[in-house]
Each structure stands twice: as structure tokens, then as C-alpha cells.
Structure 1
């Protein structure tokens, strides 16, 4: 490095560089100060247990944003993060030390104490909640006065210069949330208000972030900031964070050790709030006394990927910045940052097919500079640039502006960690499978379409289902927009940094994804109390490809099914069990063990359902109707599955279910919504002709039936997508119309909510057609036996000839036509599936 001038003079003693975490201006200033001072050692605010991980920062595969993750060995879910971005002063200091061969050490309070404190805080919060609950039950008197809250240090970034997670920046120089006997202070808010700013972020940008790299004295900014923080510490003490005194005592001890080894050639990079405390003259005995008796917990540390979105306050992590993408740009763009930023914005909007030209960029730059001059700012900040983007590039609309904010101001950058970083065995196995299946973690949410007939996609599906069973929510199933066959799956994937903790927590179940998932499935099955939970677990085992865990789950399922007498529970369990039987065709899974259990459940439902449908209130009746629908679908699938088996006693399963529905349709003690639903299911199944359905409707809507019961019967019969039935069967529509017009005025308000709920579920086009048919009135009498009414525009019977004419076009669209007059049976079977 060649100096351009004389080295600036410095006072004796260690170099204390007070920074704002994740500040690009602070990061540039730290780099300039280190270049000028050339210290023999660099001390950095962070957990000392991570000193062994510092050399990994030189690995080119370790790309920020990343975070130091500390978790309790015996309880991996208890963890803490120390995030670092490329524009974090701590990261710049680490990379400077590695590049110059200078030792770098972390000096904050060890993570072993930090995690133990978290446990104590959680226990205190639980006790406080219990006391509050008991106080509410005992109607304790209300005590007037300020709201006193315990400081929330655990969720705050260690040493963070800014509010804790979930807090809002307080107003006024006191900047106070009351914490015990002290006010919790936001230093930026106090300094900004003293400077005449109402926005701490804007003040910080003007004073620090917009400073150019060409300062003559690289130490002057740190001296000025330390002086300001000294004045705040004199007035506010620890600023409502009493545990800062313990952390600062440990920092002073580590600083003394470094000075004994390297003299005064020591540089310290820490939050500016701590600089006055590090300059304070204290004794070693006093500092050690503060650290005596601190709780401990055994911890492990490693590097994990982080994201820009998690650096933003809006994510719930109080990292002190609103716009990590913007700050990253300021750190990289040393010249003309506004012009370069607006050029990136224009490129993003062009990708979204918006018309944005170079002239728009030029005009936006001019407008941003004008706004900065009018607002008295040295350079355009994020507020001015976004105002210019809205006015010039977005035509005043906030819709494209929100896209710019999401993609650029915040961003979806995901860091990377090398394979050499320490990790639990489960994490290593997951990384290996991710590489093998070519499915990389990404911060931006994306959809993944899987065809389970392929080996790679089937493996991806199994991995995602296994992770869900382990509680690692990397992917969530979504509705497929294309084929609805069982060979198709759609997932929404998004990797969040917290998932690294979930993986470490799941490591207690095993060292591989397969082994851990099997162990957890068996444990969940043994611990499950509800029958539906066990059947859902059996379904998950099949989806995740866990044949070794299935026998344990099936044994528990058989035991629970034998003891459970609640028909509602059985009805909840059957659909998931039957769906599981369908996976054998596509996934190649042996589902033979499920067949007998599913058939046995169905038989018990057939016997117990009619008695269970008596004496139900409205809510219970509506819930039971949902069970009837689910069982009806499940029985149809189960009957198809059993059709090819050698069990002759199972062949009439569908017919026995129809017998149950007939019994329900005629059972006077059953609620109307269930009776109506039973009639509708029989009609749709072809087990009941239209004339009989009309007769049953006529009985249900007879004058002797109370209007609420009749309305419930209609809801069960035509609810849930039955609008087209009324459109095409004018007899049923006429009965409903005649009954509704005959409802007494005093009873109309009672039946209106039921009818509104029923017809509001129809598509708008169906509702318009029904309204037109009702307005038109009875149709013309048809010349056919029975003299059924025919509505104009609708035929009495389907026109088979016209329907057959559509088939060639459908075959062509679906790609089923191979030769004239032939169909590829295999492809047809796939589409049918």
C-alpha cells in the first residue's frame, strides 16, 4: 500500500472504532482507519468461541450475508445469530485482518452466557405471563403509573446500535421505553433530534453514509462519534440495557489481554455505544466481579447463510437498517451512486415490461438531486431516489414502486457457506442430497413443478416431505395449475436462515435425513392421541418414502382405530388413509398394509354413522355434513382400489355406502342439511333417479316442514357447487322457487342466512343464469311422457351427437390421437390419472 500523504497523528492507546452495525459508511471508515493505523491485532465485537471460525472468512466460498450461529448442544432450538453483510464493519475488519496476516479476535460476552441468559428470560416471561393471568382471574386492582418492562436484550443483535427486535424507535430525547428504573435509549434518535432531524435514518445517512472516501483524517469520524456517545452515556448510563455493563466488562478484560501481548497497536471494532465504556478506567477485580456466577450452557458455533431480507427491520430482526439492498449499493458504488442506482431500477422495470428509457433515468437523477437540495441534504438519499422513481418511472403508482422496494431496496440475496464450515451430520447429509438432486436453497420464493414419474423429481418430493415431517419448512405444497393427476406435485420453496436452526434441532433424531425422519415418525406415532393424527402420519410416511417406519405407524393406527368409537374421528381418519392407498401406483410404495385398516374403518363408519347423525345442533350438523362428503369420496377411491383384490367380501363396499345414504335421506331425526346432502350424493352417483329426488325435495319443502329445516335441507342438497343442477333441472328450481315464495314473512329472516350462504358459493355466471330463469318463470310444456317442464334454451336430455362431435378436438388438444381412429392407451391412462 502506498501512502498519498503523511500518516495522520493519533493519540496513544488502543484505536477504538465505534461503528453502527451494518453501516456502509462505517465499513468504509473502518477500512480507511485500519489502513492508516496498521494495528498488530484487531478485536471485534462478537462471541469469542467463534475465533476458530475466523479463518473461514478467507475462503472464497464464504460469501456474505452470513451469520455466526450459536446453539445449545443439548437444546439446538435455543440459538443466537450474529449477522454480517459485505457492508458490515465487523466483516470488513475480519477480511482486513486476514488479508494483512493480522490476528483477529472476538471480544463480546461468550455465547455460552448469552444462550443461558435467553433461557432465564424465557422462564421469567413465562412466570410473568402466569402471574398476569392469575392477576386477571383474581381481578387485581389496576396500579396507575408508567409501563415498566424488562429490557429485551435476547432478541437484539449483540451490541446493536439501534432498537431491539420488534421495537419502534422512541420519540424525544429521552427516547424511552421504561425499563426498570432506566429509560431505554435509541442513541440515533437522540442525536438526530439534537441535530434537528425527525428521522434517525435520514440523519445517519447525511452524517455518515454519504461521506466520501477521501477524508484526510480517517480517525476524525470515530473521535466525533465517541464524543457524542460519551455525552449520552453520561446522561443515560447504560440506556436501559443493564446487561451491557456485563458485556463491556468482558470486552475490557479481553482488551487488557491484547494490550499485554501487542502493546497499544490494538484496534477495536465495536458498537459506538460501547466506546465510552471501553475507555473507562476500571480495575480487573471489578470487571471480573461482574462476570462472576454467570449462567452457562454448552454451545456450538458455525457459519450459516443469511439473507438481506433478514437484515431488514421489517423481518422482525432488529438489525438497525431498513434497506440492506440500498446499503449494499452504497458500499459498492464509490462514485455516482445515485446514477448507478437509478440505472438498476430502470433495468428491473424493463424486465417487468415497463417502458423506461435512458431519458427517464436522466430525469429521475435530476429530480432526486433537486429534492435533496430542497430538503437540505448533502446528497440524494433513499427517500429522494424513491420519490423520483415514483414520479418519473412509475407514473405516480405505488405498485411498481413496491416491486423496486422488494427486489432492490431490501433484496433477496442469500449468502453461501463452504463445506468446510462446521455443521451437524444431518446438515451435511441434507447438503449432499441438495447437490445430488440439483435443488439449491434460494432466498427468493419460487415454484417447483415435480413429475413423480421421474427419478429425480421423485427424490426431490421425498426430500421435501421428509423435511416437512422433521419440522424444516423449506417447501410448502401448492395447488398445481396444470395437470391434477397424482403424478404431479407443486411446491413453493424459500430458504430462510432460521431453517439452519431447525436442521440442527432435528439432528437429535439422527445423522441422516432418512434416519432422522424415520425416528421422528415412529416417535410421533407413539405420542399421537387422535386417530386422525395417526392416519395423517401414515400418509406422510408414504409421501416421504419411509417403509421402515410404516409398520410402527400401522400398529399404532390399528390400536387407535380399535379403541376409538367416535364416528367423527373415524370419518376424519378415513380420507387420509384412502389417499395413501393411491400413492402406490405412482411412487411404487407397497400400501397393502393400509388396505385392511381402511376397509375396517369404512365398515365401522357405515354402522355408526346413522345413529351419530341424530340430535345434532346446527354447527355439529354442518361439521358432520363435511364428514359425509369426505367419506363419500374416500369410499369411491377405496372401492376402486379393492376392485382388483381377491377379497370377495369387499366388492360391494360402494353399494353398502349407498344403503347408508338412503337411510340418512329418510331419517326424520337427522338434520335437514345431512338428509339433503345424502339425497344429492345418491343423485350424483346415479343411485337415485331425478323423479325420486324431486319427490324427496317436495316432502322436505312441504308446508308442514318448519322453514329453517327446509332451508337446511336445501343447503345440503344444492350447496357446495350444486348450482348447475338447478340450472339444468327446472323441476327442482321450480320447487325451490315455489317454496321460497311461500315462506311466511315472520320466518323469512330466519332462513335468509342459510340461503345466502348456499347461493353465495356459486359462480357469478351460475347466479346470473338462475336469476334469469326465475325471472322468466315456468317454461313450455314438452311433448313427452310425464309432461316435464322444459326451460327455453335448455334441452330436456343431453344431445349425445353434439357431445361426440367434440371428442376429436379434445383428443387433438390432449395429444391422444396417434393414428386415425386409435388412441395411445398409455397416455390416455396418464391423463385420466
Structure 2
């Protein structure tokens, strides 16, 4: 029998395990992993299967309760599985089954511990370092301050000999000195895991297997007979496992990513550099040279000049550093320092790019084609293949042209997945609106968690479209669904082409709109409806009923605003200002749309704008309304042409009169200018009013309003701030007085010559 104690992810460990199995030729292989996953092992030979992969187990009736066992090509366990299936040798998992791990605890720790143990505070103490990271203890004993570097030197960079006897001996010594686990439950869980591993091992020996190989975590090796240790009585292990609760679980293989294998992702057994480890395992010959050549390739993809001479210099530097530090092979630290010095000129943002692309990596595995899946996931895979959407762990932006059938179908699929709570991507660039009516941009990245989210979403249907319809109808029927939620749901149904859900959603919207008297809800509800009206025809999914609902919301919102804006504080005024911005933009979008929305018509949009303009003019003239709101309403009316510059100047002058408290005047200015500072840069009269008001403030008043002014002017673009500053520096009416800065014609001559050359003309 051979017990191979390993680190769960490491190229040297994986290579040593494979070599040991080939030399030992076992007749059965036991691997640390959930014992009820044995039927899934043969599937890894399926065509196209490619790690990184993970075994996923979830409770059948509660998919959110799930657990993953990740494997990479450089994982010793994966190499053991691959060797055994290729050689036709029986292979089994030996750890606690997932059915036991995912079962409800049922007070196990309380039953095992006595009363005095239950009240003990050991569970709140820090976990002893020997148990949390035994490698760190061994590294310190060897004089290393970095356990990763120590393990790399003694195991991962090892080129000959077996490390397993020494590892087992070291772990046995550590286990003798290790204090008890941090809590009773933790200690019990560890004892049960090792009891189950020994039970599977005894079963294999009892079946007549003479040459048994066990691949497990190094910490467990002494408990499984490594170094000649005895397994102990089977009765004690059976008693420990008796009566454990079980859950009904489902298991399958799912794609995993190198990013999820990284310790930075929160994975407990993660490694710092999965991409580097993958390289070491797949490129054993000249790994440093090949790695730095790959680094150069990444930089060249970004159009950065990296010469072959620089790569050669980096290789020599990395190897020289390894010699100076007494390392058998240049490690990640050495190649990173060589990259910084010779390839990226010390620029940290370029080094971060290399770390993201190579050191961690963006590889995404491919699950076995015959692995069990839910009908919903299978439908998603079929649909994605037909639409030529390939899962990829690297985030990328996909621009869709909604005039083409394939891109329109892609957009509908992505919106449906969002509704199901299993987003493949998220809208990019302001939800694609800046690309125009007919285009939409998505930022796509395949996440391993999608497997769990798709299982959860299966309760609404066995295919993506009917599941999305079921989810929309459920959301529409929730008593807590507010008016903005329902209008957003209507928009989602149109974007996702869920015509089957629209009748119920629209009925819920109509009922809620008739009963909801909250003006903030009415204001927030209109923009999604107008977007649905405006863009519905592009997708061929317009709903005729939406125009009437939008008209009713507009009437009720305008009627209720007079009371809603009275007596609000600064925070409420800020929230209302944002809602008014969206409400105004939505109404003007609807009125300016040639399509206008079926059923609403252009007339409905124009009537809404007229009603809103009258309401805004009335509110902007009131003195009992918060200055942030009256200032903002004045700016909206000015931008729409409903107030001219003279009228706005009069309102601004009134707001900034000496009799008005400076704070209230500053709030009016903040509301007026929150849409940008171009109006001040181009209107001398308004700028002069603001400048005069600021100039006459005394020191105390100026300090009081300074935070508001900093926030206001800080929101301007650099160009707007520069233009306003120039005009203030020149003084009022500088252009009329001829005080404009002189033009340097010499600077313009080269541009003029180039333009003339392009036009085929001469001076």
C-alpha cells in the first residue's frame, strides 16, 4: 500500500503522483473526494473534457446549499483520476459523501460534547497555526519566511526522487504536536472524514486488492497508514460514522476557472498563482524561457514594443536571481522581478496585466458532454451553441446589432438569464443606449456559480424561455412589488420577448398604478415604460397598452408633485431631483419619438410634455420649495426652451438677492448647475450673476456655502471648469471690450497646411 500525501494543487505534487503510480502499478486507486461521486469518474474520458473542472453537489430541494471540489490539470487528484481511467485501474473517492456533508447539522456537536464543553469558549479562539497551515510551520523550521516558496523549492521544483515519505514523516511529527481543533464540531468533522477514508481503504483491502494507492491531503496521510502507521480498529470508525444525517443530493461536473482556484478568490485550498502552476506542469522543459516568451506575447497583444533581446535579458536575469538565492529553479518571484525590470520598465499597471492574464490566468474548463445536467442548463447550452455564444471566463464586451436576427436572439437570451437570476453578462456602456436605438452592448464573463443559479432557476421551467415567463409572472404576483418594480419588469419582458408573461404583468401594473399614491413611485415608474414604448418597435415586441398606462402615470405624477415637494429636507430633495431628471427625460423622449409607442401615440407624448411644462413652471416659481428643486426645474425648462435666458436670469437674481440666506442660494445654484457647467461658460449674464453673488458674501457665509459649491463645480468636466475660469478671470463682457487672448497663427499654420493638402488646394 502507498499513501501519497499531497498539496491539493501543485505541479510538482501532480507530477510526483503520476510518476509514483506508474512505478507502483496499483490495482486500485483511492482519491480524496466525495465518495458518492464515484459514478462520475468515468465521464472524464469524454471527448473534449478539459480541466479546470469541479465536482458540484447540491441539495435537490435546496440548490443554494451546494459544495464544490475543484480540480486543475496540475492537481494531484486529477492526475490520479486520469492515470487510473487511462490504465483501466479501478478508482474511487474515499472522503465523506456529499450527502453527509450537506445534511443539516442536527446538533451533532452538542450531542458529542459534554455540558462543560458546550460552554467552553474554544470555538471563539484563533485556530492554532499548525492546523491552519502546517506548511507554514515546516517552512519556518527550514528557515523560510514564505511557505509558498519553501514548498516550491522542496516539492514543486523537485526533479527526481519521491517526496512522499518525507512529507508523511513531517506531517506525523506535526500531528503529534498539534493542539486540538478550534471547536468541538471542527474536531468531530475531521475525525469523521479520516474514519470514512479508513473505512473505504479497509473495504478495498478486504476485496482482495494487494496494491492500493491512496492520494490524499498531506495532513491526513499519517491517519491512513503512511509510514507504517496502523489503521486502528474498524469498530471505532463505524461507531463514529453511525447515525449521521443524510441529504438527498445531486452531483455533476461543472466548468471551473483558474481565477476560482486562486487563493485571492476566497477558496480555502487555493494557490497564489494557478496560471504559473499550470505552466510549470504543461511545460516542464525550459519553463522560464517559455514563460517569459508568453509574457512578451501578452504585452505585444496590447501593442507594446517588446523585443526578443528584452526577453533574453529577462531570462538571464531570472536565472541569475535563482542562483544568487540558492534556488533549484527560478520561481514566480524571480520571473516577476525579471518581468518588472526587463519587460515592463517598472510600470505596475503592466505588471498587473501580466498577473491577471498569466499568473492567475483566465482558463475555463470544459465539462464532460455526458455529465448530468438540469433540463434548463441543457437548453441553455443548446441555445448558446445555436447562437454562437461560447462560454469564456475572460470578461469581454459584445456589441449586438438588434437589426440582425442572431444578435436579437442573443440579446433576448441574455435578458432572460438576467431575469432568472443567472446572469451570463451585464449591460455595458449605459445599458447600450449610447450605441443608438439598434445596438446594445454586454459585458460577458462565464462564472462557475451559474451552475448553481441555473439549478435554482429550474423551479420556474425546464427551458430558458418558459422559465423566464414563470419567473416574471411570479414577480408580478408578489404583494411587495412596487410600481417602479413592475414597470421595470414590463421593460424586461419586452427586452426578453416574453409575450406570454405580459398580460399578467400588465394587469398587475394597471392595478398597482391605480392604487399607488406615492409620487416618488410614479416618477420612477415612467422611464422604464417610456423606454419600452420607444424601443419596443425595434425588437418587434411593443405592447399597445403601455401608452395608456404612461399617460395615466404622467397625469397623476404632475397632480401630486405640488404636495410632494413641500417641506422636504436636503436628502429628500436630492432624491426628488434625480427622479425629476428621469421623469423629464422620459417625457421628452416619448414626445420626440417618431414611433411614440403603439397605443400612446405622438399626441399622448406631446400632451404629457405640455402638462409637465406647466407643472414645472408653477413649481419653479414658488418660494416654499427647496432651492435644489426650484433650481433644477429652472434648468430643465431652460434646456427645453420653455424659459429663455432673461427669465432664468431673473429667477437666479431673485434666488441670490442679499435677503435670501446664502445656503438657500447655494442650493438653488447646485440644482441649476447639476446638469453641467456649459450654461455658465456660454452665458455671460448668468455667470456675472453668480460671480457677483459670490463676491459679496462675507467670510463666514462663504465658508458655510463652500461645501455645496465644491460639490457643484466639482461635477463639471475639466473643459467646463477651464472655460468658466477663463471667463471669470477676464471679467464681464471681456469679448465686447476686445480683451480676448491673442491668437497665435504660427501654431495654426501646420494644421491649415495639412487641411489644404487633403483638399488638394494651396495657399
| Mapped contact 2:252–2:371 kept (Cα < 8 A) | yes
| Mapped contact 1:73–1:300 kept (Cα < 8 A) | yes
| Mapped contact 1:312–1:410 kept (Cα < 8 A) | yes
Distance in 1 separating the partners of 2:106 and 2:469: 30
* Counterpart position of 1:232: 174
| Mapped contact 2:195–2:241 kept (Cα < 8 A) | yes
Q: 1:502 to 1:791 in 2, by over 3 A?
A: farther
Q: State the Cα distance separating 1:499 from its structure 2 match.
A: 1.4
Q: State the Cα distance separating 1:493 from its structure 2 match.
A: 0.6
TM-score computed with the length of structure 2 as normaliser: 0.90
Greater CA deviation, 430-439 or 520-529?
520-529
| Mapped contact 2:551–2:600 kept (Cα < 8 A) | no
Q: Does 1:731 align with 2:682?
A: no
Distance in 2 separating the partners of 1:102 and 1:575: 64
Distance in 2 separating the partners of 1:373 and 1:642: 73
Q: State the Cα distance separating 1:470 from its structure 2 match.
A: 1.1
* Counterpart position of 2:212: 266
* Counterpart position of 2:444: 493
Map Cα deviations across residues 170-202 of structure 1 (whole Å, 9 max, x no partner): xxxxxx9337xx963411111111111111111
| Mapped contact 2:30–2:215 kept (Cα < 8 A) | yes
Distance in 2 separating the partners of 1:22 and 1:565: 59
Aligned 1:234-313 pairs, distance under 5 A: 234-236=176-178, 240=182, 241-242=186-187, 243-279=189-225, 280-313=230-263
| Mapped contact 1:726–1:770 kept (Cα < 8 A) | yes
Q: 1:678 to 1:482 in 2, by over 3 A?
A: closer
SS of the aligned residue for 1:368 comes to helix
Q: 1:386 to 1:122 in 2, by over 3 A?
A: farther
| Mapped contact 1:238–1:245 kept (Cα < 8 A) | no
| Mapped contact 2:46–2:369 kept (Cα < 8 A) | no
| Mapped contact 2:547–2:600 kept (Cα < 8 A) | no
Question: Which of the two has greater helix per residue?
Answer: 2
- Equivalent position to 1:515, from 466, 471, 488: 466
* Counterpart position of 1:74: 61
Q: State the Cα distance separating 1:84 from its structure 2 match.
A: 0.8
Q: Which runs of 5+ in 2 are unaligned?
A: 111-119, 742-754, 756-763
Distance in 2 separating the partners of 1:646 and 1:681: 24
* Counterpart position of 2:29: 42
- Equivalent position to 1:177, from 126, 135, 141: 126
Q: 1:261 to 1:713 in 2, by over 3 A?
A: same
Q: Does 1:703 align with 2:658?
A: yes
Aligned residues: 723
| Mapped contact 1:42–1:266 kept (Cα < 8 A) | yes
Q: State the Cα distance separating 1:712 from its structure 2 match.
A: 1.8
* Counterpart position of 1:569: 521
Greater CA deviation, 681-690 or 85-94?
681-690
| Mapped contact 1:643–1:651 kept (Cα < 8 A) | no
* Counterpart position of 2:145: 198
Q: Which runs of 5+ in 1 are unaligned?
A: 1-13, 124-145, 151-175, 783-789, 795-808, 810-833
* Counterpart position of 2:113: none
* Counterpart position of 1:798: none
Distance in 1 separating the partners of 2:293 and 2:600: 67
SS of the aligned residue for 2:440 comes to strand
Distance in 2 separating the partners of 1:539 and 1:377: 61
SS of the aligned residue for 1:228 comes to helix
Q: 1:682 to 1:388 in 2, by over 3 A?
A: closer
Map Cα deviations across residues 62-103 of structure 1 (whole Å, 9 max, x no partner): 101111111110011111111111111111111111111111
Greater CA deviation, 368-377 or 439-448?
368-377
Aligned 1:670-749 pairs, distance under 5 A: 670-721=625-676, 723-749=677-703
Q: State the Cα distance separating 1:367 from its structure 2 match.
A: 2.1
- Equivalent position to 1:773, from 727, 732, 740: 727
Distance in 2 separating the partners of 1:582 and 1:277: 68
- Equivalent position to 1:583, from 535, 546, 557: 535
* Counterpart position of 2:477: 526
SS of the aligned residue for 2:5 comes to strand
Distance in 1 separating the partners of 2:682 and 2:651: 18
Q: 1:776 to 1:120 in 2, by over 3 A?
A: farther
Distance in 2 separating the partners of 1:439 and 1:643: 33
Q: State the Cα distance separating 1:622 from its structure 2 match.
A: 1.9
* Counterpart position of 2:707: 753
Q: State the Cα distance separating 1:111 from its structure 2 match.
A: 0.2
| Mapped contact 1:41–1:262 kept (Cα < 8 A) | no
Map Cα deviations across residues 217-268 of structure 1 (whole Å, 9 max, x no partner): xxx4212211111111122166555111101111111111111113322111
Q: State the Cα distance separating 1:791 from its structure 2 match.
A: 8.7
CA RMSD of aligned residues (A): 2.7
Map Cα deviations across residues 540-582 of structure 1 (whole Å, 9 max, x no partner): 1111111111121112212222222111121111112211111
